[in-house]
């Protein structure tokens, strides 16, 4: 077997599996691991693969990892635009925290006249930039990790509100229901759902079909599910029958 042939095989293998192990290739091609290593080093030098300890990864794999900070930015933008269409003048909107909600807050149209209740200081500050929006920050103990207010006082305050819609950021959701990993936050979210006529869930599709420790609410209670995907997309199909409206 020629060297070029061998390297072509390696590239093919990487394109297929996004990674290769030196040991596997050594077996498959029946050459010493040293030879494989030399091949991988050459390919890495040409920039065709990314060499790592034990084997190599595809270039695209590495790229995805690098631009992780702009993770899902475009998706969240799409979701934000879809969500904003549901806002009408005079509405009372109850919202949790999360980066998706923040994207929504940033894009709030100037002309819109709505009242926001929120448990997130960050979202509150973002909304405060808006000239016509009324922003009420729900006070309470500030959670160190998630940077939203939690505790009995918040739950109590929320119970006194009658909101038109509540925008709930989520961390996990499957056909069974919405789940979260923080017990305190679950309590607050439950109160938010109870206080609102409609529940809207904006989320990137990746969070679908994942479950966390604590249940927030069954999927059937969702009034509107908003993802970056078309409602016709395969991933969304199972949810169509459960959720009233999917955007």
Residue 82's alpha-carbon distances to 76, 137, 146, 211, 218, in angstroms, are 10, 25, 25, 25, 23
- For the bound state, the minimum distance from the C-beta of residue 126 to DNA, rounded and expressed in Å, comes to 19
User: Does the protein bind DNA through residue 6 (CB under 7 A)?
Assistant: yes
Read off the tokens for 85.
Answer: 């269409």
User: Does the protein bind DNA through residue 141 (CB under 7 A)?
Assistant: no
Please report, as residue ranges, which positions from 17 to 46 form the binding site for DNA (by CB under 7 A): 21-23, 31-35, 37-39, 41
What span, in angstroms and rounded, lies between the C-alpha atoms of 214 and 166?
A: 20
Return the one option of a copy of itself, DNA, none that residue 69 interacts with (CB less than 5 to 8 A, by type). Answer: a copy of itself
Burial class of residue 110, CB neighbours in 10 A (0-12, 13-18, 19+) = exposed
- For the bound state, the minimum distance from the C-beta of residue 60 to a copy of itself, rounded and expressed in Å, comes to 6
Residues near a copy of itself (CB under 8 A) are 2-5, 7-8, 11-12, 15-19, 21, 48, 50, 52-55, 57, 59-62, 64-65, 68-69, 71-72, 98-99, 121-122, 124-125, 127-128, 131, 134-147, 149, 154, 157, 171-172, 181, 206-207, 210, 212
Nearest to 100 by CA among 178, 227, 202, 236: 202
- For the bound state, the minimum distance from the C-beta of residue 52 to DNA, rounded and expressed in Å, comes to 7
User: Does the protein bind DNA through residue 62 (CB under 7 A)?
Assistant: no
Read off the tokens for 155.
Answer: 């739950």
Residues 6+ apart with CB under 8 A from 27: none
Which runs of E-coded beta strand occur in 169-212? Answer: 172-173, 177-180, 196-202
User: Does the protein bind DNA through residue 90 (CB under 7 A)?
Assistant: no
Binding residues for DNA, per CB under 7 A?
A: 2-3, 6, 21-23, 31-35, 37-39, 41, 51-55, 131
């Amino acid at each position: 077997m020629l060297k070029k042939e061998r390297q072509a095989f390696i590239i093919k293998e990487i394109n297929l599996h996004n990674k290769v192990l030196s040991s596997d290739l050594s077996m498959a091609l029946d050459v010493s691991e040293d030879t494989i290593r030399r091949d991988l080093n050459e390919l890495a030098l040409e920039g065709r693969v990314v060499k790592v300890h034990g084997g190599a990864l595809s270039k695209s794999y590495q790229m995805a990892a690098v631009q992780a900070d702009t993770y899902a930015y475009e998706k969240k933008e799409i979701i934000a635009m879809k969500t904003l269409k549901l806002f009408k003048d005079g509405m009372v909107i109850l919202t949790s925290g999360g980066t998706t909600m923040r994207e929504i807050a940033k894009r709030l149209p100037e002309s819109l006249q709505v009242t926001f209740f929120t448990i997130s200081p960050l979202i509150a500050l973002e909304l405060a930039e808006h000239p016509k929006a009324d922003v009420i920050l729900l006070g309470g103990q500030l959670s160190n990790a998630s940077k939203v207010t939690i505790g009995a006082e918040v739950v109590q305050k929320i119970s006194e509100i009658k909101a038109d819609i509540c925008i709930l950021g989520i961390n996990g959701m499957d056909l069974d229901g919405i789940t979260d990993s923080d017990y305190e936050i679950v309590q607050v979210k439950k109160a938010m759902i109870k206080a609102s006529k409609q529940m809207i869930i904006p989320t990137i599709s990746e969070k679908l079909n994942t479950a966390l420790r604590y249940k927030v609410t069954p999927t059937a209670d969702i009034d509107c599910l908003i993802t970056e995907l078309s409602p016709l997309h395969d991933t969304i199909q199972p949810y169509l029958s459960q959720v009233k409206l999917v955007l």
